[in-house]
Amino acid sequence: MPIATVNPANGETLKTYEAMGAEEIERRLQLAEATFRTYRTTSFVDRGRLLLQAAHHLEEDQQDVARMMTTEMGKPVNQARAEAAKCVKAMRWYAERAEELLADEEPADSDMKDSGASRVRVRYRPLGPILAVMPWNFPLWQVIRFAAPALMAGNVGLLKHSSNVPQTALYLEDLFHRAGYTEGCFQTLLIGAGQVDEILRDERVRAATLTGSEPAGRAVAATAGEMIKKTVLELGGSDPYVVMPSADLDRAAQVAVTARVQNTGQSCIAAKRFIVHTDVYDAFAERFVEGMKALVVGDPMLDETDVGPLATEQGRSDLEELVDDARRSGADVLCGGHQLRRPELPGWYYAPTVIAGITRDMRIHREEAFGPVATLYRAGDLDEAVLIANDSPFGLSSNVWTRDEAEVDRFVRDLEAGSVFVNGMTASHPAFPFGGVKRSGYGRELSGHGIREFCNITTVWHGA
């Protein structure tokens, strides 16, 4: 894939960039290593001051950076503004809390009695340069939720962003430099996917984090495993959205629409599989389909737009193949499909779509639908709902709608997912750990768990 800004609303190539050569990559790796030696010794106060300044600049840039993201990957501009605001919130959260989250820990007195030590401390120390391989779907947020905790922990960052959002990648490097960080603290590497392996193998790169596809995660994990380097992976998701008879159906259906089409459905944590108890299936389906039909599909630069274009032409083709496969196998398309509500639009649009009658032999049952396509399942009881929900190679998040506390306890116990959201839509927040199980990856981002992922957890033992 060329490194270029291609507007998905019309297919126009706006800017192209040359991939960095070996000499420039080497310069940046040297700079990262040299900068880490001094940055690692800075105080939390100084690190926090820099991160707060970066947050201030981003807040001032919110309107412009939102339009830039929309131009590069097509998300509705009102959602792009919200993404920028969320980044500001996370940066301030870590700036204010990192010292507390990484404070030295001491064991309980009862554990000291037979330790032979007069004092023991657990200290969190930074690892070094961290390579971040990031996706296009939340081009600002995905990077900030890595960069903010990594920088506050004393690490330095090397960003390999998706090749279709180069302007956002360069903006992020400039943002941290304007805030006062020295050049080597955060650097963008304008490189293709084929160059990641060599950089990850470099001894100066101490760890890696990747958000993206399962194949990309496998490749990074394989190399990192060979080199014995820590990784955090956040990969695909096909999140279940379970609706039980006691749920507020109007609210559940309304939230379901937003949960499916946020970011035009191009979100790992978007609800994708809607599993509804048979007693309320028909009522929910009617409300949900009507809500999907009512969405405004159009120019992502307009605030009234709910669903913009898909980010890439290939992404739309992949989605079409999943829907076509389901239709050929007997699924019912309740709305959407190939019949675009705005066929005159020149970009990579796909109509909000709902499919019912899903069976296990359909590709869409096993694969992630990355776009505004929802699948409806009928469950006879709670046990069947759990079986359907867990019948997926993914386990990122999940949503459960019920007012029965006993049912809540069962879902929390039995759902195979990194999160369970009860009577609400999955969302990430800087204070709560985020990540998945199974093929959705491993490790956690955000919260204290996230900032400690790229720390050397050191036992400091003092003799009597």
For residue 234, indicate whether it is catalytic: yes
Q: Which residues contact 284 (CB under 8 A, 6 or more apart)?
A: 243, 249, 252, 253, 256, 274, 276
Q: What is the DSSP string of 293-312?
A: HT--BS-TTSTT-SB---S-
**Would you call 162 helix, strand, or coil by DSSP?**
coil
- H-run or E-run covering 185: none
Q: CB of 54 within 8 A of CB of 179?
A: yes
How far, in Å, are 52, 77, 300, 310, 345 from residue 11 at the CA level? 37, 18, 14, 11, 11
Measured between alpha carbons, how far is 204 from 26 in angstroms, rounded to an integer? 10
What span, in angstroms and rounded, lies between the C-alpha atoms of 135 and 72? 12
Annotated catalytic residue within 72, 83, 234, 367: 234
Distance CA 96, CA 74 (A): 33
Among candidate residues 33, 72, 87, 268, the one labeled active-site is 268
Is 87 annotated as catalytic? no
- The 8 Å CB, 24+ separation contacts for 18-22 are 18/190, 19/190, 19/191, 19/192, 19/195, 20/189, 20/190, 20/191
Q: Which residues are catalytic?
A: 234, 268
